């Protein structure tokens, strides 16, 4: 486990210190490390070259901080670099990477965070592009199709919850009305990712009251956590990052708190509440996707809009303080974060620092 800087640990241990102060200092150091990593072309690198998606994430970190904001020169250079990947179809992506949904979604989040009218045309174009490549009747998938409403890396790829929740968050951040059909289509897909037979018509969820979410219902169902035995029968295993992703997507789509999908997802969260690992992943995989999990945890809990959550054992948790304390403890001396359990690019200090800073910024918002 990577230890925090000694000065940060001292701050946490000092009785007069407030965790919010330590967390803000961690954000400041994280942003300094990101600024130091910005390349001359205005981008941030992933796998050795500047990339619009990782640049969009880093830009969003800076945009949301009052010391920097959308007019900071580093942000303006970043957005200019990112927008060089615009296409006539409205998407913002690298041709040939096979990830137009993911790239466009994070770009749309960054542009929307600026709240600047000069980007409105780009925002509207990106929003139209995401809605266009969502799986629906235009691709010969009606409501009976397990692909319906979902989003993959692009409209030639099978849909999954990770990409779908990215699209939903981007549309939400861009100010798209909650009445827009794109949300309702997405809810059809997302509901089929939940291990809940009451609202999921797929065979793999039959008889399940788990309430957690898996990666995709396509091709008979897929979970990055594998399977587990339930009363002697193998069943797809739900896990933390996808459960919080599904939960926040339901909330963004204005699904009511009395809806069984919300209630059972919340019960899963109460049962599996932890920030020490990506919950309910198998032990050997428990740290995989950890910082992605921290990011969706923060966004989901903010969307839930409660200061505390009571776990299944009756313990009350102040989730903002818990998250801040955990991330401060994991920050490296140079201000960055990295996941030694390198999967899904979490061996990249730039990507992981973006996840950590965005999670902390969300936790610090009131």
Q: Would you write out the chain's pLDDT as a tens digit for each of its 366 residues?
A: 444 555 555 544 543 358 999 999 999 999 999 999 999 999 999 888 999 999 999 999 999 999 999 999 999 999 999 999 999 999 999 998 889 999 999 999 999 999 999 999 999 999 999 999 999 999 889 999 999 999 998 656 899 999 999 999 999 999 999 999 999 999 999 999 999 999 999 999 999 999 999 999 999 999 999 999 988 889 999 999 999 999 999 999 999 999 999 999 999 999 999 999 999 999 999 999 999 999 999 999 999 999 999 999 999 999 999 999 999 999 999 999 999 988 889 999 999 999 999 999 999 997
Residue keyed to tokens 């000069």: 118
| Distance separating alpha carbons of residues 112 and 107, to the nearest angstrom | 9
| Distance separating alpha carbons of residues 262 and 71, to the nearest angstrom | 39
At residue 222, the 3 state secondary structure works out as strand
| Domain ranges across the chain | 1-19+273-366, 38-133, 142-270
pLDDT at 156: 66
**Pair type for strands 49-51 and 44-46:** antiparallel
Counting Cβ atoms within 10 Å, is residue 177 exposed (0-12), middle (13-18) or buried (19+)? exposed
Neighbours of 306 (CB within 10 A): 10
pLDDT at 272: 98
> Which tokens sit at 299?
């966004």
Structural contact between residues 330 and 4, judged by C-beta atoms closer than 8 angstroms: yes
**pTM of the complete model:** 0.93
Structural contact between residues 50 and 58, judged by C-beta atoms closer than 8 angstroms: no
C-alpha dihedral (323, 324, 327, 332), degrees to nearest 10: 180
pLDDT at 10: 52
End-to-end CA gap in the chain: 30
The answer to whether the Cα torsion of 195, 201, 202, 207 is positive or negative is: positive
Structural contact between residues 285 and 348, judged by C-beta atoms closer than 8 angstroms: no
| Distance separating alpha carbons of residues 276 and 77, to the nearest angstrom | 36
pLDDT at 53: 96
Alpha helix positions (H), the chain: 6-13, 19-37, 52-63, 73-83, 100-114, 120-133, 161-173, 181-191, 240-252, 260-271, 290-304, 319-330, 349-364
């Amino acid at each position: 486990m990577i230890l925090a800087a000694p000065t940060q640990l001292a701050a946490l241990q000092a009785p007069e210190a407030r965790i919010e102060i330590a967390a803000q200092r961690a954000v400041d150091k994280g942003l300094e490390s990101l600024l130091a990593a910005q390349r001359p072309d205005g981008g941030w690198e992933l796998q050795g070259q500047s990339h619009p998606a990782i640049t969009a994430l880093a830009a969003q970190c800076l945009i949301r901080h009052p010391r920097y904001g959308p007019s900071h020169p580093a942000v303006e250079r970043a957005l200019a670099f990112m927008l060089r990947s615009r296409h006539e179809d409205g998407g913002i992506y690298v041709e040939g990477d096979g990830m137009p949904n993911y790239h466009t979604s994070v770009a749309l989040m960054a542009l929307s965070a600026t709240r600047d009218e000069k980007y409105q045309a780009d925002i509207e174009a990106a929003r139209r592009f995401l809605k266009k490549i969502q799986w629906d009747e235009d691709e010969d998938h009606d409501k009976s199709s397990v692909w319906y409403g979902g989003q993959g890396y692009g409209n030639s790829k099978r849909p999954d919850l990770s990409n779908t929740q990215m699209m939903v968050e981007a549309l939400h951040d861009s100010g798209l009305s909650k009445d827009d059909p794109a949300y309702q289509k997405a809810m059809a897909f997302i509901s089929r990712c939940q291990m809940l037979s009451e609202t999921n018509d797929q065979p793999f969820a039959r008889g399940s009251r788990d309430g957690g979410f898996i990666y995709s219902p396509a091709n008979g169902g897929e979970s990055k956590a594998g399977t587990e035995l339930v009363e002697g029968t193998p069943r797809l295993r739900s896990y933390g990052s996808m459960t919080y992703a599904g939960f926040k997507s339901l909330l963004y789509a204005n699904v009511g708190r009395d809806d069984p999908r919300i209630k059972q997802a919340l019960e899963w969260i109460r049962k599996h509440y932890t920030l020490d690992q990506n919950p309910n992943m198998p032990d050997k995989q428990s740290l995989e996707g950890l910082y992605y999990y921290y990011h969706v945890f923060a966004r989901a809990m903010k969307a839930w809009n409660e200061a505390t959550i009571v776990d299944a054992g009756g313990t009350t948790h102040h989730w903002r303080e818990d998250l801040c304390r955990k991330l401060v403890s994991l920050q490296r001396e140079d201000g960055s974060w990295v996941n030694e359990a390198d999967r899904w690019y979490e061996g990249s200090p730039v990507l992981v620092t973006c996840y950590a800073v965005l999670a902390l910024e969300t936790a610090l918002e009131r």
